């Protein structure tokens, strides 16, 4: 039997039975330290932007309304407008900082549609580059991530602050 040592998983295992807080629900008094730990880039009146801890690609961001809803139809027209304003700002920052060749942008509404956190609606923004697909996911069932999340965080945070 092959073994893969992953001691960082112990933090998850130790907390698996603890009540879970919604990752998208953010208190207005959140500290910069907690924002860094949770990879939260922006907290606005109507939306929050954070980095995906399990990204499809480097720079994978999530934009969520501050209102805790799982259904797009539960947003008011103004809340929907603000969610997409946040999405535009996130794309603008990624374009400036990472210079991707394109983006995948989407919503997974409901668990059956692939929503990992179905209780709180969120938009996925995945930057894409020519050549960012290769044989590793197909042959090795492994995605190569070329940059650490905590290394990219300050660059994106700084760009958001300039907006």
For residue 135, the model assigns a pLDDT of 53
**Looking at residues 109-124, what average pLDDT do you find?**
92
The half-sphere exposure of 82 on its side-chain side, counting CA atoms within 13 A, is 16
Candidates 60, 101, 120, 122; catalytic one? 122
pTM beyond 0.75, yes or no: yes
Residue 159 has pLDDT above 90, yes or no: yes
For residue 71, the model assigns a pLDDT of 93
For residue 139, the model assigns a pLDDT of 53
- Selection from 127, 102, 111, 119 nearest residue 52 by Cα: 127
**Which residue ranges make up each domain of the chain?**
22-146
Using an 8 Å Cβ cutoff, are 151 and 157 in contact?
Answer: no
The half-sphere exposure of 115 on its side-chain side, counting CA atoms within 13 A, is 19
Residue 141 has pLDDT above 80, yes or no: no
Structure tokens at 70: 């799982």
The fourth-level CATH superfamily of domain 22-146 is HIT-like (3.30.428.10)
Phi-psi region of 110 (alpha: psi -120 to 50; beta: other; left: phi over 0): left
- Active-site residue 122, yes or no? yes
């Amino acid at each position: 039997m092959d073994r893969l040592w992953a001691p960082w998983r112990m933090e998850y295992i130790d907390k698996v039975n603890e009540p879970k807080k919604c990752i998208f629900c953010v208190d207005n008094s959140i500290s910069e330290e907690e924002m860094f730990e949770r990879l939260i880039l922006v907290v606005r009146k109507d939306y929050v932007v954070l980095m995906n801890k399990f990204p499809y690609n480097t720079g994978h961001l999530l934009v969520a309304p501050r209102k805790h809803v799982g259904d797009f139809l539960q947003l008011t027209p103004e809340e929907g407008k603000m969610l997409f304003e946040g999405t535009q700002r996130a794309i603008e920052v990624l374009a400036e900082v990472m210079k991707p060749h394109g983006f995948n942008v989407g919503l997974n509404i409901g668990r059956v549609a692939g929503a990992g956190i179905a209780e709180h609606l969120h938009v996925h923004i995945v930057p894409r580059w020519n050549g960012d697909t290769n044989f590793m996911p197909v042959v090795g069932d492994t995605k190569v991530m070329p940059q650490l999340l905590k290394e990219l965080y300050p660059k994106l945070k700084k760009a958001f602050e300039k907006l």
